[in-house]
Amino acid sequence: MATQRILDFLATRRPSGPCLVVDLDVVRDNFRAFEKALPDSKIYYAVKANPAPEILRLLAAMGSSFDTASVAEVEMAMDAGAPADRISFGNTIKKERDIARAYQLGIRLFAVDCVEEVEKIARVAPGARVFCRVLTDGEGAEWPLSRKFGCVPAMAVDVLRHAKGLGLDAYGVSFHVGSQQTDLTAWDRALADAKKVFATLAEEGIVLKMVNMGGGFPTRYLKDVPVAQAYGQAIFSALRKHFGNALPETIIEPGRGMVGNAGVIKSEVVLISKKADNDNVRWVFLDIGKFGGLAETMDEAIRYPLVTRHDGSETAPCVLAGPTCDSADVMYEKTPYPLPLSLTIGDEVLIEGTGAYTTTYSAVAFNGFEPLRSYVI
Amino acid sequence: MATQRILDFLATRRPSGPCLVVDLDVVRDNFRAFEKALPDSKIYYAVKANPAPEILRLLAAMGSSFDTASVAEVEMAMDAGAPADRISFGNTIKKERDIARAYQLGIRLFAVDCVEEVEKIARVAPGARVFCRVLTDGEGAEWPLSRKFGCVPAMAVDVLRHAKGLGLDAYGVSFHVGSQQTDLTAWDRALADAKKVFATLAEEGIVLKMVNMGGGFPTRYLKDVPVAQAYGQAIFSALRKHFGNALPETIIEPGRGMVGNAGVIKSEVVLISKKADNDNVRWVFLDIGKFGGLAETMDEAIRYPLVTRHDGSETAPCVLAGPTCDSADVMYEKTPYPLPLSLTIGDEVLIEGTGAYTTTYSAVAFNGFEPLRSYVI
């Protein structure tokens, strides 16, 4: 996944210290693949995955819409050229003053998952469209979602009815099948729930129009995943099955799926050592770790592919850790990572599939280390 | 732990958005308490706990030395007025070019835990003092250390012998009993290991001079902890027991113990909701979470005291979560947190004991939220 452009950039520029390099060509290809796979769905790029201005400008120019988590992200999307009607305020947890600010900026589409949030929106964003997030089971996801977002489908009916009663546009429902979702039937189950909310409210004369199918589209880490096309077909079949000919508008919110495989982190081996002479597992310390951008190695959830100049030679398991004085800054320990025996201090290690959820997760200055630098080419 | 000065500051300045307020009077008291408890030990403040310039300047002026994790932290300590001979480069994982840079800045005291690191130091910091970190068992600590730092005592002997052979000053050993260590016997066990290293090397004519007893001194969260005085007595007794009249120089490296209880985070309730009408646990969402500075709630390790204007009234358990669109951004869920039933959206929540390991852990821009602001008064 380190494209030739990325390799050439690293060879030419030789940046010192860890950095992320993102290849816009890959982002462009990913956007087109989503368009082709789900031609009837609008793509709302999840800005939080990687808000680099170059990425936002490319996607805005290609016609993408944007899913934002804060007023700052709304502003980033607008600065990149997206008009307000292509921006959704997709965070279900918003301060009332932030809703008001987004409304002033022209935002008219808001996520909710409870009546309390509906009431804030009714007060400061009159007439806005709201969609209610429903809880899904998250089965099959590599980074399963907790119950943090959404409510049970029965409560979603109440929430949307309440919105309508307060003069808002009860616009639709959303769900998220969990990040890196590889079980295609997850969308089927979630769409069945969505349809129930549509049907119940239709009986009361409230006609929802949109289903926001969220993200969860995987990027390729170590395992092969079904390609976008397969996702598109499975989702379209599920839509037909549950909604028949009365297909709603649909939205998807890829984040990781749009930029994950477009980025590679360049790092350096700082130290290789053992804890005792008779240990058979080496500790390999890189100049980037959990607090420098690899937060998603938490609980060893995401296992990034590592590339070194010694690949192909004999390997042995290593504990992989970051450079900070924090004992929690260990990426892979329970399941040690096989790395070449010939790996040495000073060697470059490329960490692939790191275009999403790295730069922004990076700690601002932990241990005095600067946040992850990023180059978008 | 919210001092009157902090409360007055918040009442007067009314900062909007989450922020940390640190009271320097408390830091000053903590430094004096450590001095009094361990009058024969040199205090090396662990800069990573909170590198705010005001804190570093105060401690430098009071005569503190500094334990640093990176060249940037070395520079911060020097900028605050600490001379190079009061600064230790305490990270066992260092790039050779960073060791060289620190040496150029005058740093002569370095941590190691393997021969590979010794060799780097011998190449670019000739004649420097090195101390070798030994592994401890970490029993009794709230935030137990993994095996990331240190080596077994037998290997420490090899490491220090190697240092001597390469012309370095084999200066001593260090250990860390684990963060928030409340078991006073942990120091006794670690000092027994340290003494063994001293004794073995003494037989070869290598005379170590220093024991670095690290940090681990707890700050007060929800549970009472033995006061600094009790720590001092226990440590002094253990030193006497193992070293007799030939007491080595000793160093301590308090971080959390120096600033943890000096800081309070002001946050705001963004949303209170349920996931289903019949749920009996409320979800309370604050405007700060795991990615905004409360990283140490990971695995619900540290349970901060929360203060609201409704304290004393009837409470019920809540799941406590942060404001980001990340399902992992939940602070307390397995063990819900009792909060007043009358708590409402917009209420201020003070999070006490947050002076350490918050501002620097904060993500640089996750979800577009700015890093935790900090006021030192």
By the CB < 8 Å criterion, does B207 face chain A? no
Q: Considering the domain boundaries, does residue A46 fall inside one?
A: no
CB contact under 8 A, B91 and A333: no
- Residues A94, A239: one domain? yes
- Number of CB pairs, chain A paired with chain B, less than 8 A apart: 211
Q: How confident is the model at residue A221 (pLDDT cuts 50, 70, 90)?
A: low
Instruction: Please judge whether A298 and B150 are an interchain contact, meaning their C-beta atoms are less than 8 angstroms apart.
Output: no
φ, ψ for residue A39 (rounded to 5)? -60, -20
Is residue A298 located within the same domain as residue A158? no
Residue where a domain terminates, one of B201, B233, B254 = B254
- The CATH number of the domain holding residue A106 is 3.20.20.10
- A55 lies in some domain: no
**Residue A155 contacts B where some CB pair is shorter than 8 Å:** yes
Identify the closest residue of chain A to B291 by CA–CA distance. Answer: A361
Q: Decide if A230 touches B, using CB distance below 8 A.
A: no
Domain match, B123 and B228 both: yes
A112-A116-A122-A124 Cα dihedral, nearest 10 degrees: -100
- Verify that B189 and B270 share a domain, yes or no: no
> Is residue A328 less than 8 Å (CB to CB) from chain B?
yes
* A218 and A300 co-located in one domain: no
User: Is residue A26 in some structural domain?
Assistant: no
| B37 in a structural domain | no
- Is residue B281 within 8 angstroms of chain A, CB to CB? no
Q: What is the pLDDT of residue A13?
A: 93
Are residues A199 and A273 both part of a single domain? Answer: no
Q: Rounded to whole angstroms, how far apart are CA atoms A158 and B369?
A: 31
Q: Are strands A263-273 and A210-212 parallel, antiparallel or unpaired?
A: unpaired
Residue A76, chain B, CB below 8 Å: the answer is yes
Contact state of A368 with B69 under an 8 Å Cβ cutoff: yes
Dihedral sign for Cα B342, B348, B352, B358, please: positive
- pLDDT in the model for residue B187: 86
**Residues A284 and A361 occupy one common structural domain:** yes
CATH number at residue A286: 2.40.37.10
Nearest CB neighbour to B116, from listed A114, A145, A272: A272
CB-CB under 8 Å, A362 with B360: no
Instruction: List pLDDT tens digits, range B300-335.
Output: 888 999 999 999 999 999 999 999 998 889 999 999
Confidence class for position B139, pLDDT limits 50, 70, 90? low
Interface test with A, best of B119, B269, B326 (most A CBs within 10 A): B326
The Cα of B69 is separated from the nearest Cα of chain A by a number of Å equal to 6
Q: In the prediction, which pLDDT does B223 show?
A: 58
Q: Which residues of A are catalytic?
A: 325
Q: How far apart are CA A337 and CA A359, in angstroms?
A: 23
pLDDT in tens, A137-156: 655 555 555 689 999 999 99
Which range (A118-122, B37-41, B102-106) has the least confidence?
Answer: B37-41
Q: B26 in a domain, yes or no?
A: no
Same domain, A338 and A216: no
With a pLDDT cut of 70, the percent of chain B lying above it is: 95
Is the Cβ of A270 closer than 8 Å to some Cβ of chain B?
Answer: yes
Distance from CA of B344 to the nearest CA of A (A): 10
Condensed to tens digits (0 to 9), the pLDDT of residues A149-188 reads 999 999 999 999 999 999 999 999 999 887 777 788 888 9
What's the domain range around A316?
A: 261-376
Express each pLDDT in A20-64 by its tens digit: 999 999 999 999 999 998 999 999 999 999 999 999 999 999 999
Q: What is the mean pLDDT of chain A?
A: 92
Strands (E), A210-363: 210-212, 249-252, 263-273, 282-286, 306-307, 315-321, 330-340, 348-352
Q: Which residues of B are catalytic?
A: 325
Compute the nearest-CA separation of A237 from chain B (Å): 28
Nearest-angstrom CA–CA distance, B113 and B247: 23
Contact assignment for A345 to B116 by CB distance below 8 Å? yes
Q: Indicate the residue type of B339.
A: L
Number of domains comprising chain B = 2
Instruction: Say if B282 is an interface residue toward chain A (CB within 8 Å).
Output: no
Structure tokens at A97: 């003053």
Among A169, A167, A95, smallest CA distance to A130 is for A169
| Mean local confidence (pLDDT), A293-302 | 87
Residue A344 domain flag: yes
Do A221 and A112 belong to one domain? yes
Give yes or no for B246 touching A (CB within 8 A): no
Band of pLDDT at residue A327, cut at 50, 70 and 90: confident
What residues of chain A lie within 8 A of the CB of B88, using their CB?
none
Q: Which long-range contacts (CB under 8 A, 24 or more apart) does A330-338 make?
A: A330/A289, A330/A290, A330/B146, A330/B148, A331/A289, A331/A290, A331/A294, A331/A297, A331/A300, A332/A297, A332/A300, A332/A303, A333/A300, A333/B146, A334/A300, A335/A300, A335/A303, A336/A281, A337/A284, A337/A303, A337/A306
| Pair A312, A345: CB distance under 8 Å | no
Is B42 a domain residue?
no
Q: pLDDT category, B114, cuts 50, 70, 90?
A: very high
pLDDT at position A361: 84
**What single DSSP character describes residue B204?**
T
Please tell me the distance in Å from B25's CA to the nearest CA on chain A.
24
Question: Do residues B172 and B209 make contact, with C-beta atoms less than 8 angstroms apart?
Answer: yes
| Domain end point (choices A230, A254, A278) | A254
Distance in angstroms (rounded) separating the CA atoms of residues B78 and A337: 39
Which residues on chain B are in Cβ contact (under 8 Å) with A93? 270-271, 285, 321, 323
Judge whether B84 lies within some domain: no
- In this structure, the answer to whether residues A246 and A283 fall within a common structural domain is no
Q: B344 at the A interface (CB within 8 A)? A: no
Q: Are A276 and B154 in contact (CB under 8 A)?
A: yes
Q: Is the pLDDT of residue B145 over 70?
A: no
pLDDT confidence of residue A226:
64
Residues of A whose CB is below 8 A from B90? 325
Contact A275 B135 (CB under 8 A): yes
- Of B254, B283, B299, which closes a domain? B254
Contacts of B147 (CB under 8 A, 6+ apart): A275, B135
Q: Higher pLDDT residue, A299 or B267?
A: B267
Tell me the pLDDT of chain B averaged across its residues.
92
Are the beta carbons of A27 and A255 closer than 8 angstroms? no
B278 and B209 within one domain: no
- The predicted complex's ipTM stands at 0.92
Same-domain pairing of B324 and B233: no
Question: Chain A, 12-41: which have a CB under 8 Å from a chain B CB?
Answer: none
